[in-house]
A = this chain, B = another copy of it.
Amino acid sequence: MRDLAIGVIGTGKMGADHAETISSVVARASVRAVVDIDHKRAESVASRLPSARSIVSVEELIQSPDIDAIIIATNSDAHTEQVLACVAAGKPVLCEKPLAPTVAECEKILRAEQVVGQRLLQVGFMRRFDPAYVELQQQLASGSIGHPLLAHCAHRNFGVSSRWEAADTIVSAAVHEFDVMPWLFGREVVGVNWSSPIPIASRSLPDPQLIVLELAGGPLVVAEVTMHSYGYEIRCEIVGDKGAIELAGNARTARRTRLQVSEALPEDFRLRFADAYRIELQSWVDAIHRWRSDPSGNEPISGADGWDGYRAAVITEAVIASMNNGQKTAVNYLPIPDLYRSSRTAS
């Protein structure tokens, strides 16, 4: 079995990381081509990979017959067109979150997949592959805390650029909760409510933001999302009617020095989620191999699909609306198409 040949679109931080991860620690896959609007950056990334060339045109990379599957890590404005081209070409594609900047674009992608008649698109919600979140999910599924009723979440970043705006926090950070909470609870988000100790009307960034998600049937999620915090940290506790379960700390060592005991916190998500990204990519590669050897019983995806990306976009728009109008806001979805419903019956 030869290595899966992967093309990477977008060689910024995220794309370069994925290319490096695949090249160093993912089995049965190689990055064969990269492309970026900054062609010099693409060349530089390609030169550090063992077997990758840089290509000038995105379309050429997607159509290239020696490219089996594609990773999209461009600015989200470019996602829709690129995903549509991959789907049209019948090639598996892993698109970084968020799937697209608008719900309308996500719907366009869903329609395109339905036309093709198969799910080719996976969305890069890597928390589903993080061993701690997986353990949380398994514990919930096993009924270890009874019926889950409430979640307390915190997403804290070690600073963002001065150009960062309130909506960016929702689109880029809170969006992870919009995917992982429905996944953990097995319930849809039906209402959202945005607030912040720093009013949106003020000139500065509202930070922290406090987002309450109401799930179908009643469960509530309280998600703090803070961009200027003491370090990068993700916290999550689920409270059920028989107990509660939370993510444990991630420190590998504890240090005692002058009058304190301390554990280090990481600067960014790459340290925290390095293993999740590796497992996500390996799992995606493995799914594609299975699908290529037997397309009848397999699909080339292993995590969040197009519908999950669409759902996150719908919630994102609702939260932004709640922020702008200061109201609790209902969340409404399209009827789920057959293509996406079938895979959800098991759960």
**Which A residues contact B (CB, under 8 angstroms)?**
1, 23-29, 50-51, 131-132, 135-136, 139, 144-145, 149-150, 152, 154, 158, 195-199, 208, 210, 212, 214, 218-220, 222, 224, 226, 228-231, 233, 239, 241-249, 251-267, 275, 282
Contact = CB atoms under 8 A, between A and B. Distances in A.
Nearest to A242: B257
A265 B261 contact: yes
A104 to B, nearest CB: 31
Top 10 nearest A-B pairs (CB, nearest first) are A243-B257, A132-B252, A262-B262, A197-B218, A149-B197, A244-B256, A231-B259, A260-B262, A248-B251, A245-B255
B260 A264 contact: yes
Given A197-B219, A224-B152, A248 B254 contact: yes
A24 B131 CA distance: 17
Contact of A256 (B214, B220, B245, B275): B245
17 contacts: A24-B27, A24-B282, A135-B253, A144-B257, A150-B197, A150-B224, A152-B224, A195-B212, A197-B220, A210-B220, A228-B241, A230-B258, A242-B257, A244-B256, A248-B249, A248-B253, A262-B263
A242 B261 CA distance: 13
A51 B245 CA distance: 42
Given A51-B1, A208-B150, A260-B264, A247 B253 contact: yes
A263 B149 CA distance: 21
Contact of A149 (B198, B245, B257): B198
